[in-house]
């Protein structure tokens, strides 16, 4: 059985017209000989009577707070409603389908209500549905724990559902449908010149996603890569080929096999709404327990840090602006001198092929200088260089880097074929 997993994000299922567009993509897959397994995100938009936000507000009119268990149940409803609607759309188009919750799809997760990891999948009910020549429509973003509790997979969790089902069902590929033409060289909302990347490796996409490109959840890329299932990020609306993510070598010329390599710079990613904190001491911090105290206080509060730098007299890092006030008051207790501010964005140049290539940092600095944007902090790995800039400089910085690394240039010649 040739299985294709097709995931549709929020915008793709938001309206009846959009769901009909999604149905067209599903029909095309059937016509190409696939058994589609469709994964859907919630369709509710703020203000809709059935949207999760609306339901949450209503539930909290009864009582100001809601327990995590009931919150998870409420959140599960969003994707379930969406799956039922999608079945209706498909059936109306002459495509018989059945809706499944995460639990009915056999998705077993850790016993935590938020950000639960998928532990295993037993997709027997899905397979039975496909054998009956029906399309399986799975509610994304959810699973059940061993003791039968409903869990949620965290923001962007439907991508994870799709990738994990793709591996469990040994699908030929997983298609992630969204509102853009694929993985672009930068967020198209900020860089109009951004173009879709035709083919890239799991490595490269994973790095971009970790650095903030929100087009796909990084964990979904890891799962697909580990299971060696090709991913394709495509537009629901244009039906274009989008971006193929694979490590599989392609034939170069007759008798030759080209090895798929990572590009030096694949794209740009950014994360906004960050705060920077710098703590300084007149004395060597290594002589006291202050370094430990700082990180322990933040860990106990569940605040995650990035761009961490520790030197004898200073500790600096960034956190989400949402955690700023809490972190500020916790750290005030240490007695260290604190220099803290909100309004930062982290911009990363990514590409697994940059390891060992000299001069990438010089080009990054040159681009930021051209954009007139001061750098507040940097970090790097063998697959990325990230700079902290002021949020107000963000779009100029992205444009300058996009130009410096010629990302709007010729699309790489590879033509996408079948999987």
Q: In what order do the strands lie in the sheet with 306-310?
A: 306-310, 314-320, 267-280, 337-350, 384-390, 377-381
Should residue 215 be labelled a site residue for ligand ADP when binding is judged by CB under 6 A?
Answer: yes
Rounded distance, CA 169 to CA 126, Å?
A: 9
Should residue 140 be labelled a site residue for Mg ion when binding is judged by CB under 5 A?
Answer: no
189 binds, among Mg ion, ligand ADP, none (CB under 5 to 8 A by kind): ligand ADP
Maximum alpha-carbon separation in the chain: 74
Rounded distance, CA 19 to CA 42, Å?
A: 12
Smaller CB separation from ligand ADP, 216 or 327: 216
| Position closest to ligand ADP via CB | 9
Radius of gyration over alpha carbons of the chain, in Å? 23
- Which residues in 9-38 contact Mg ion (CB under 5 A)? 9
- Which residues in 68-107 contact ligand ADP (CB under 6 A)? none
DSSP 123: -
Rounded distance, CA 141 to CA 245, Å?
A: 22
Should residue 156 be labelled a site residue for Mg ion when binding is judged by CB under 5 A?
Answer: yes
**Minimum distance from residue 413 beta carbon to Mg ion (Å):** 29
230 binds, among Mg ion, ligand ADP, none (CB under 5 to 8 A by kind): none
Should residue 267 be labelled a site residue for ligand ADP when binding is judged by CB under 6 A?
Answer: yes
Q: Partners of 234 in the beta sheet? A: 177
218 binds, among Mg ion, ligand ADP, none (CB under 5 to 8 A by kind): none
**Minimum distance from residue 187 beta carbon to ligand ADP (Å):** 4
Rounded distance, CA 107 to CA 99, Å?
A: 14
Task: Assess contact for 261 and 250: CB atoms under 8 A.
Answer: no
Q: Which stretch binds Mg ion (CB under 5 A): 5-13, 140-148, 186-194, 396-404?
A: 5-13
Q: Determine which residue in the list 214, 320, 390, 396 makes contact with ligand ADP, applying CB under 6 A.
A: 214
**Minimum distance from residue 233 beta carbon to Mg ion (Å):** 10
Nearest to 240 by CA among 185, 208, 196, 186: 196
Rounded distance, CA 37 to CA 4, Å?
A: 6
Smaller CB separation from ligand ADP, 44 or 267: 267
Task: Assess contact for 55 and 18: CB atoms under 8 A.
Answer: no
Should residue 213 be labelled a site residue for ligand ADP when binding is judged by CB under 6 A?
Answer: yes
Task: Assess contact for 357 and 310: CB atoms under 8 A.
Answer: no
- Which residues in 174-203 contact ligand ADP (CB under 6 A)? 178-180, 183-184, 186-189
Residues that bind ligand ADP (CB under 6 A): 9-12, 41, 178-180, 183-184, 186-189, 213-215, 267
Residues that bind Mg ion (CB under 5 A): 9, 156
């Amino acid at each position: 059985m040739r299985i294709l997993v097709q995931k549709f994000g929020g915008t793709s299922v938001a309206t009846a017209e959009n769901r009909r567009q999604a149905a067209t993509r599903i029909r095309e897959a059937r016509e190409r000989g696939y058994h589609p397994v469709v994964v859907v995100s919630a369709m509710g938009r703020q203000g809709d009577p059935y949207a999760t936000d609306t339901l949450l507000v209503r539930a909290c009119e009864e009582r100001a707070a809601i327990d995590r268990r009931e919150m998870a149940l409420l959140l599960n409803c969003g994707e379930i409603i969406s799956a039922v609607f999608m079945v209706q759309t498909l059936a109306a188009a002459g495509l018989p389908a059945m809706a499944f919750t995460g639990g009915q799809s056999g998705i077993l997760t850790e016993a935590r209500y938020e950000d639960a990891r998928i532990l295993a999948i037993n997709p027997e009910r899905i397979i039975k549905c496909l054998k009956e020549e029906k399309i399986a429509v799975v509610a994304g973003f959810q699973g059940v724990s061993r003791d039968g509790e409903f869990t949620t997979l965290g923001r962007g969790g439907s991508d994870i559902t799709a990738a994990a089902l793709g591996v469990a069902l040994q699908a030929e590929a997983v298609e992630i449908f969204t509102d853009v033409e694929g993985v672009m060289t930068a967020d198209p909302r900020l860089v109009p010149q951004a173009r879709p990347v035709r083919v890239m490796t799991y490595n490269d996409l994973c790095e971009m996603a970790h650095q903030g490109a929100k087009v796909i959840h990084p964990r979904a890329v890891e799962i697909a890569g580990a299971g060696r299932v090709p991913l394709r990020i495509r537009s629901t609306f244009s039906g274009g080929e989008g971006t193929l993510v694979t490590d599989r070598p392609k034939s170069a010329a007759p008798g030759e096999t080209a090895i798929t390599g990572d590009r030096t710079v694949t794209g740009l990613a950014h994360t906004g709404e960050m705060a920077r904190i710098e703590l300084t001491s007149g004395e060597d911090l290594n002589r006291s327990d202050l370094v430990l105290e700082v990180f322990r206080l933040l860990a106990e509060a569940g605040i995650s840090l990035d761009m961490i730098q520790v030197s004898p007299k200073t500790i600096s890092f960034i956190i989400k602006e949402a955690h700023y006030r809490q972190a500020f008051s916790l750290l005030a207790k240490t007695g260290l001198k604190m220099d803290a501010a909100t309004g930062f964005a982290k911009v990363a140049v990514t590409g697994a092929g940059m390891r060992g290539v000299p001069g990438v940092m010089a080009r990054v600095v040159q681009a930021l200088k051209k954009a007139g944007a001061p750098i507040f902090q940097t970090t790097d790995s063998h697959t990325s260089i990230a700079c902290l800039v002021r949020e107000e400089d963000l779009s100029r910085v992205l444009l300058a880097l996009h130009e410096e690394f010629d990302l709007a240039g010729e699309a790489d010649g590879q033509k996408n074929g079948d999987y």
